[in-house]
A and B are shown apart, each in its own frame.
Chain A
Amino acid sequence: MIPTILMAAPVANDWITLDFVSLGQNFWSATFDGLTFGSIYALVALGYTLVYGVLNLINFAHSEVFIMGCYAVFFTLSFLGFGPSAPNLGIGQIVVNLLLALLAAIVASALTAFLLERLAYKPLRKRNAPRLVFLITAIGASFTIQYLIFLWRGPVPEQALTMFQTKPIFEVFGTIIYSDQILIVTAAVIMMVVTERFISKSRTGRGIRAVAQDPDTATLMGVNKEKIIITTFVIGGILAGAAALFYVMKIPSGVVYNGGFILGIKAFAAAVLGGIGNVRGALLGGLLLGLIGNYGQILLGNSQWTDVVAFLVLVLVLLFRPEGILGTSLGRSKA
């Protein structure tokens, strides 16, 4: 059986294949692409992880925090005159434009996260609502934002914008690595390291960990819980904004009202895979999920399988190791 599968060339209308040949051929390009997507997942996953660590809440609306960032990137770049074809700009100009877009995305996402916390979650916390109420509010908020965007922009994805011409930088294992891959992975890893340092070293970070560990005791020790919670949401928003820029860079046609939905589920799966509530776990989980998704897609022969594979990973992790790979919670992570 297996040799025939290995030999068989993929037939176009096969809905599922076990195409090891093609996986072997494209292994390295799938790896580098997977790492690129993985870093985007990881940035979004951090938002889930931080909020989950502090509030024990799956913030379903985080995918909308992310998509608001995508819209901010789109509008900024349109305003700056970017179009479907790559602009002929110097490197300095590109950097300035991208930084502007990044800034806009971060502001939009952080603002969305802030408003979300203030308008939806804070009233519930005041009344000490049960978990189910929080979850339903979260999904309702996610839905509301999604359809506000839908009413505003309609069901059609926004025009694809190319930020710069991707250039081959160097070659590893016979595979060319492009400038955008380098940029995204490097920037994402830097952001995650900064976040990690911030949470483990800074005073606010210590407050976040304290609230995650025991909100009541933290309050008694003089930590301003409300301030910590809002900071956590804003940090999640900032990282989601950065993820939004990279996402639009990678998938220019992805700016659509429900574009955050699947990405949100994948990012959550990544957070669970690495160990929810764990900052390093989010990075590891994101990168792993990016790789698994890309390998699975090539192996099974249809790009739609990435979503299914990510979902299966989530279920399998929950089945066999629900605490995730790294497993420790935000509160117990070492300084």
Chain B
Amino acid sequence: MSMFDGPKPLDTAKSDQANAKMESSGVPPGSSAAVPRPNRKFGRWSDCWREMPRQKQWLILIPIVIVAFLLPVVNPPFITTEPGNDWPLACQLMAIYALVAVGLNIVIGYAGLLDLGYIAFFAVGSYTAAMLTSPDSAFIKIPYLWTLPVAIAVSMFVGVLLGLPTLRLRGDYLAIVTLGFGEIVRILATIIPAMKGQPGFQNVGHPPGVGADGIPIFANSNGTPWYWLTLSILIIMLFLVGNMERSRVGRAWIAIREDEDAAETMGVPTFKYKVWAFALGAGVGGLAGALMGGQVGFVNNQKFDVVTSILFVAAVVLGGSGNKVGAILGGALVAYIPLRFTAIAEYKFLIFGLALVLIMIYRSQGLVPAKQRLLAYGTKAYAAVRRQNAENARRPGTPDGSSGSGTPPTTPVPNAEGSAS
């Protein structure tokens, strides 16, 4: 566990880090994240971003969050999906897809496991919410908001159950097993009477609260409060996932993604962390499913087909797997495009299927590529780099890269652990 043994001073941490190739995100080996690459638009942005102090980042983030919250209310022209699709509901769907993509990104982007049946966990979450709140089910009833943690727990449990037999093997098997599982959940929902098949569950619960006109605030057709709820949960998830990513767990995931055998050799318990990634991903999927079930208010077996699973994968891959921002963008786009451009909505599966192939061939890192970078002490490291650069600029001619505080060296990259912004 030498590589993951908690805090170390930067200079010794540096010498511990190996030079890993970032094959999966398409960054050629030897390119340093700390050295901005001027020809890459997104790369430049994310480098700027990382070199900013925390306060400045917040200063930029807060307006973005506010704009995101105001989105369904202002109904911006050109962007809006109206007429044709209700804009607040479209926002809600985008937020759900973004949440799903953030969850699936843990599995695909960080741990490098291809989960093709993510819809199954989504379904488990939806059914959990429905069966615990709908008057159609024979189970005990609990308030809707309590079903969210229950949905997370149940889908995590299912995730572990599915992960245990398959994650010991190579990742490919996981792909086909999850693909099959996605279909099996639908079949089980059809043939098990308690899950009610096609009639499904009507009147799934919603959060409490009644508006002035006597209509519940969280009515099915009222997208705005649902969007706010989902967005808040999404932001909380981003914090959790971001912390997870920077923790030992996140570094272990990335090590597994890059080279499982090497990670195992270096003392990373790969199986344990793969199960964790799979279970956490399943949990987020279940949460998104429960939110979707509550908002739509009706859950039956027709909604959870495997093709939607592939849309989720497309969302992660399109945005840039291994990158939270990319996942959100990808998820939102996959939900948004068919709603906005209704003329091509019919072709959405074809478009996103084709997009998967083309992205993989021509830009496998996605729209917002994940980059390798220092994860553990990211901000401090980049501050140190900046200081050093400034010093070097003052004293031209001084060789950089050998002074031991995270300076970008002229020799190949010191930072190997990470990716993702």
Which A residues fall within an 8 A CB radius of B? 13, 15-16, 56-58, 60, 120, 123-124, 129-133, 135-137, 139-144, 146-148, 150-151, 261-262, 265, 268-269, 272, 302, 304-305, 307-308, 310-311, 314-316, 318-319, 322
Contacts and interface: CB of A to CB of B under 8 A. Distances in A.
Given A150-B349, A268-B176, A311-B181, A139 B165 contact: no
B187 interface: yes
Contacts of B193: 13, 15
Given A265-B179, A308-B188, A147 B23 contact: no
A123 B361 contact: yes
B112 interface: yes
Nearest to B360: A137
A132 B321 CA distance: 11
Contacts of B158: none
Nearest to B112: A132
B27 to A, nearest CB: 12
B188 A319 contact: no
Contacts of A137: 356-357, 360-361
Interface string B357-394: 10011001000000000000000000000000000000
B171 A132 contact: yes
B267 interface: no
A137 B114 CA distance: 12
B191 A302 contact: yes
A66 to B, nearest CB: 15
A183 B123 CA distance: 42
B169 interface: yes
B360 A133 contact: yes
Given A135-B172, A151-B346, A151-B347, 5 more contacts: A124-B361, A130-B23, A150-B350, A265-B180, A322-B169
Interface string B67-83: 00000000000000000
A143 B349 contact: yes
Contacts of B180: 265, 269, 310-311, 314
Interface stretch (B53-61, B306-314, B396-404): B306-314
Looking at B112, B177, B190, which has the most chain A CB atoms within 10 Å of its CB?
A: B177
B357 A144 contact: yes
Nearest to B357: A140
A132 B317 CA distance: 11
Contacts of B188: 308
B207 interface: no
Interface string B43-61: 0000000000000000000
Interface in B276-313: 306-307, 310, 313
B190 A265 contact: no
B353 interface: yes
Interface string B179-195: 11101100110111100
Interface of B: 23-24, 108, 112, 114, 116, 162, 165-166, 168-169, 171-173, 175-177, 179-181, 183-184, 187-188, 190-193, 257, 306-307, 310, 313-314, 317, 346-347, 349-350, 352-357, 360-361, 364
Given A124-B360, A315-B177, A308 B353 contact: no
Looking at A136, A137, A144, which has the most chain B CB atoms within 10 Å of its CB?
A: A136
B310 A308 contact: no
Nearest to B172: A58
A133 B187 contact: no
Contacts of B306: 261
Contact of B24 (A13, A57, A130, A315): A130
Nearest to A322: B169
Nearest to A58: B172
A136 B361 contact: no
A144 B350 contact: yes
B184 A143 contact: no
B172 A318 contact: no
The 6 closest A-B pairs by CB, nearest first: A140-B356, A143-B353, A147-B350, A319-B165, A144-B353, A140-B357
B361 A131 contact: no
Contacts of A13: 193
Contact of B192 (A15, A139, A144, A147): A15
Nearest to A151: B350
7 contacts: A15-B193, A132-B257, A147-B353, A150-B350, A268-B176, A314-B176, A316-B165
Contact of B166 (A135, A147, A318): A318
Given A13-B193, A265-B179, A139 B310 contact: yes
A147 B162 CA distance: 29
A147 B349 contact: yes
B114 A318 contact: no
A12 B87 CA distance: 46
A316 B173 CA distance: 12
B360 A148 contact: no
Given A139-B313, A151-B347, A133 B356 contact: no
A308 B183 CA distance: 9
Given A120-B361, A261-B183, A140 B353 contact: yes
Contact of A140 (B166, B191, B354): B354
B116 A139 contact: yes
Given A15-B191, A304-B187, A143 B175 contact: no
B313 A136 contact: yes
Nearest to A128: B23
